[in-house]
Amino acid sequence: MVEHLQRYGVISSMKVAEVMETIDRALFVPDGASAYADSPMAIGYNATISAPHMHATCLQLLEQNLQPGMHALDVGSGTGYLTACFAIMVGPQGRAVGVEHIPELVASSIKNIEKSAAAPLLKEGSLSVHAGDGRQGWPECAPYDAIHVGAAAPEIPQALLDQLKPGGRMVIPVGNMFQDLKVVDKNTDGSISIRSETSVRYVPLTSRDAQLRGY
């Protein structure tokens, strides 16, 4: 999978390649699913796990903000795959936090992480996954150097902007029918710069009830 993404120019970073090889995607997809196919997959509860090329893209966009010792937040952490990747990158001195509003996914993601290379970080407490409304972020471990949002918001939630550290970067899909992956940089003076990276299609960032109803 990683070689394929490197061959097609999706992964140019050795660090990202290494992390995606370290965290085995097969541990984070439903049983019987073709784990390494480059496509998103349903994980139940009207949620999905992103395609490997989207995970690679987001990891590369955030790489400079996922250095050892840094703090990272994964909103809509789903099966826990990207949260585990973040934890490996920021290491035991850093902090990787997943927030997911479906409690059953939180419980299963913790089980997935326990089988993965990120298990020691979960045990030591530098990696954690919480049930909550990700639109509110996770103030307890803020501010964050890196924030990833795995569902499309109609606009960028203010709480997430507030929890982004000066010098930090957030990657978030924004839009309704038509969505762009936005790269949001908080400059050292606190001002915000936003650019569009690519067109994407994500499930909506919504309330738990709306998601379970099928939006």
Name the residues annotated as catalytic: 50
* 140 Cβ contact list (under 8 Å, min separation 6): none
Residues in the chain, how many? Answer: 215
What is the C-alpha to C-alpha distance for residues 99 and 117, in angstroms, rounded to an integer? 20
State whether residue 200 is helix, strand or coil.
strand
Tokens of 92: 């035991």
State whether residue 96 is helix, strand or coil.
strand
200, 181 contact by CB (below 8 A): yes
State whether residue 29 is helix, strand or coil.
coil
Phi first, then psi, for residue 52 (nearest 5°) are -55, -35
- How far, in whole angstroms, is CA 154 from its chain's centroid? 18
Tokens of 196: 């569009």
Written as one letter, the residue type at 100 is E
DSSP letter at 51 equals P
What is the C-alpha to C-alpha distance for residues 188 and 165, in angstroms, rounded to an integer? 8
